């Protein structure tokens, strides 16, 4: 008989390096629930709790507090141990009163860093459309869809508070601060000094001046983080 449905696990040897999973500790890795970040650029909440924060030793130990509602992701309680976590997300551990921000390192792997106080997040606009009632909806890189009345373009960024309200727009333009969150220059930060429009065959590019020099990367690889 043929197998029906998708696999609930992935082999560690074939898994994306983004999650930073140790490939020889076990044969399989929990597969993230679909719907948010792409499969190649996310890690499960289980991986964060067990393998990075080390506040649980096994999947069962991690599952108990998650199902009890002890974790929030971007201000919302999450009870799915395989909930996908990716760049820009903010995790709150309610019993400990701690917040952790998700970033990226130079090897293109996910990082988890404690932040001292509650903060929102910055997300990139990857698409927009007109919904019922002529309301403009923005699709963000983390899978979120939000309504917004002010002008905003694809590749701009939005600042979102923990109660999931947009606090402001960060325009993709020369002089803006940005961070590279994928590609060969991952984790580099700098100032945009030039933009090249894309065509049907060539992707748009950005020239960035950082502390290590000037380089060029695809616009799809960067997120505007400041003005």
Q: How confident is the model at residue 53, as a pLDDT?
A: 92
What percent of the chain is predicted at pLDDT more than 90?
57
Sign of CA dihedral 99, 19, 123, 143: negative
More confident position, 118 or 218: 218
Both 35 and 66 in one domain: the answer is yes
> Hey, what's the torsion of the CAs at 144, 147, 153, 158, to 10 degrees?
-60
Q: How confident is the model at residue 209, as a pLDDT?
A: 97
Both 149 and 186 in one domain: the answer is no
Sign of CA dihedral 168, 109, 16, 9: negative
pLDDT tens for 189-218 read: 999 999 999 888 899 999 999 998 999 999
Interval 141-146 mean pLDDT: 88
Both 53 and 95 in one domain: the answer is yes
Quote the DSSP letter at residue 32: P
DSSP secondary structure of 125-147: EEEEEEETTTEEEEEETTS-EEE
Q: How confident is the model at residue 107, as a pLDDT?
A: 86
Both 106 and 13 in one domain: the answer is yes
Both 217 and 154 in one domain: the answer is no
9 CB contacts (<8 Å, ≥6 apart)?
Answer: 28, 29, 30, 31
CATH number for the domain spanning 14: value is: 3.10.290.10
Structural domain range at position 193: 177-226
What percent of the chain is predicted at pLDDT more than 70?
88
Number of domains in the chain: 3
With cut-offs at 50, 70 and 90, classify the pLDDT of residue 159: very high
Say how far apart CA 49 and CA 60 lie, in whole Å.
Answer: 11
Among 182, 184, 166, which residue's Cα sits nearest to residue 222?
182
Q: How confident is the model at residue 14, as a pLDDT?
A: 55
Residue 2 lies in a domain: no
Q: How confident is the model at residue 151, as a pLDDT?
A: 87
Q: How confident is the model at residue 12, as a pLDDT?
A: 61
Residue 68 lies in a domain: yes
More confident position, 186 or 14: 186
Both 95 and 153 in one domain: the answer is no
Residue 39 lies in a domain: yes
pLDDT tens for 10-57 read: 666 556 666 666 655 665 677 788 878 877 788 899 989 988 899 999
Both 155 and 186 in one domain: the answer is no
Both 37 and 95 in one domain: the answer is yes
Both 106 and 125 in one domain: the answer is no
CATH number for the domain spanning 192: value is: 2.30.30.30
Both 144 and 66 in one domain: the answer is no
> Hey, what's the torsion of the CAs at 43, 126, 219, 110, to 10 degrees?
-10
Both 82 and 151 in one domain: the answer is no
Q: How confident is the model at residue 4, as a pLDDT?
A: 53
More confident position, 38 or 68: 68
């Amino acid at each position: 008989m043929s197998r029906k449905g998708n696999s609930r696990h992935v082999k560690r040897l074939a898994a994306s390096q983004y999650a930073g999973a140790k490939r020889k500790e076990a044969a399989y890795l929990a597969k993230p629930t679909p719907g948010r970040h792409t499969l190649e650029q996310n890690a499960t909440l289980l991986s964060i709790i067990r393998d990075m924060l080390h506040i649980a030793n096994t999947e069962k130990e991690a599952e108990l507090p998650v199902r009890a509602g002890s974790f929030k992701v971007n201000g919302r309680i999450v009870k799915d141990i395989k909930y996908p976590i990716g760049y820009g997300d903010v995790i709150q551990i309610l019993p400990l009163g701690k917040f952790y921000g998700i970033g990226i390192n130079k090897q293109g792997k996910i990082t988890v860093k404690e932040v001292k106080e509650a903060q929102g997040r910055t997300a990139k606009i990857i698409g927009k459309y007109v919904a019922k009632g002529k309301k403009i909806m923005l699709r963000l890189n983390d899978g979120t869809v939000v309504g917004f009345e002010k002008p905003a373009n694809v590749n701009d960024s939005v600042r979102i508070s923990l109660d999931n309200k947009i606090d402001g727009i960060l325009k993709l333009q020369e002089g803006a601060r940005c961070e590279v969150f994928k590609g060969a220059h991952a984790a580099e930060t700098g100032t945009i000094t030039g933009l090249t429009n894309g065509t049907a065959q060539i992707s748009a590019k950005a020239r960035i001046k950082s502390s290590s020099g000037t380089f060029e990367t695809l616009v799809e690889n960067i997120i505007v983080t400041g003005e």
